[in-house]
Structure 1
Amino acid sequence: MGASSTPLDVQCFLVPKTGSSSDECEDAIDVLSPPDASSLFAAVSDGASESLLAGAWARQLAHGAVMSMAAADEEPGGREDDLSRAFVEDLLARTVDQWDGYISDYQAERAARGRPIAWYEQPGLDKGAFATLVAVHMRAAPAVPETSGAARCWVWRAFALGDSCLFHLRDDRLVTSFPITDSHDFGITPQLLGSRNRDAGLIADRVSTATGELYAGDELLLATDALAAWLLSHPEIDSGGAGKQLGNLADLDRELFAEWVQSERDKSRMRNDDVALIRMRVKTEG
């Protein structure tokens, strides 16, 4: 997708596992851009395949995250701990508190299709679904006097739980990797947010936060773990090679991006997992 009317270019990609359809993809993305074009909210979520309805839960988390950040933006200020707690509480109200209603609708829909919930599915529904999350709020910084010589920038604040990652690139070189900085830190048991977890204090303690500034030409990438691990496994990410390659691919189209992902899987350079990517680039003048 694009946002040509704003000072930001935004592109979104979802690639399911090899052998899976797009409807079976358990990664999710969501982007919200208010009409005044002075801010942007984006999130990606990776549903844990071992849990039932992981894709649906990831979609609810990604959407809930952008809406919670937008709500928090209406009341700026406060300590970082307070901001994290407010974000988590609002997110749980939009997602966990609504999950039982979603399950009721899901059960009714299954029954209407003549496929009621089987006995062996019920424990999975009772346990709930799980997913990782990384979300970012980008805000245009106040304009500075032209005589100062300083470029207008954007500021960003990110929240993360698990191994979905944010990357800040400048001139294709890595400025920030959050919350994971080393490819060896991707494991099989990342932190997850469950659809039955209502302990806001516990979740707020586990959520990581980061902030930064963006200038013309800078990029932010939000990626789920398979693509994030690919980026961090390339030492040339620090010198611009991997970032430039990914940017060039994203500038093409979804089909060619999906073909590249499949090629990396075929060469055993990327794990066969769903891939989600949101690329946000600050436009340059002219």
Structure 2
Amino acid sequence: MEVVIKEHEKAIRFQKSNKYNLYISLENIQVAIENFSNDKCIKEGRYWKQYEGQIPLDNTNEHTIVVVKQFDNKSDEGRMCFLTKIKVLVEFKHKNIVALVGYNDEMGERIICYENTPNGRLSKCVQDASLCWMQRMKICIDIVTELGFLHKGYMVHSDIKSASILLNKWNAKIYDMKLASNAWNTKQWKHSCDDYGSLGFMNPEMENYVTVESDWYLLCMILLETFCGRFTKDLEPWGFCKNTLVRCASIEYFINQVAFDGIKEQINGKSCNKFFKVAFQCGKVIESPWRVSESLDKALEAQEDHEIWEPKLPIDY
């Protein structure tokens, strides 16, 4: 409880120190989403509702599209989520984190406004054939870069999954930081899948404890979903991460039988090989973000060589 109180006090200090730049009046928010109209509501959770609207920019006639998240101010869980997200979004600013536009706490409200991401969630795009293999790898590199940034600041996301990755012009931005914590090193914070039904697959060896390793394990699940165009629950993830399939499978098997139908003809064998080595390493052991990013860069480079340079070579090369 002492840790929770200290973190909340720190969040409040963050709010006060950034109030001038980040504060959005309740009136502007109400106008933007038509006084919390159901027509503007795009999603609803246990302790929150999410709306989409246009907020006027300060001292201009221009507007920007934002996502407005209103938390239940009568529940401890709603207040906790609000404070956690404010703290993380103010402290951790990065091109691959959904940007905080502003917030409001007037009249007991708990509201956060985020930048709009027009391409939606990665979970909605993994089965979209228009999202090519090179774009998928670039998205994965963005996610790795952001996880490394969080971990460098002693923060774990703890609920990273394809549904918590938003896409803006096909650039990945991590979202949904309600379970982010820097208390992971106490070995006392443990997830309950019953409490947070949205959780991705946790590493069974970690017994649901939140650690840096658990983030990397969940990253492995995202990499597999991105390649296969299927969700983790359909992939028999324990078999993948225990390498039982790798011992008897060739790269041709992965491309022809495992890859998403919409991209399998695009995938270069060398690129596929490097990509899967990274995925299985993340699933088994902790990897440094720089090493993972470097390995994915090499997979992308192999694909670029295949798509850009190979067609330009002489036929008898």
TM superposition score category, shorter chain reference: under 0.3
Return the TM-score normalized by structure 2: 0.24
The higher relative CO (CA closer than 8 Å, separation ≥ 6) is in 1
Higher strand share: 1
The structure whose Rg is larger is 2
Return the TM-score normalized by structure 1: 0.26
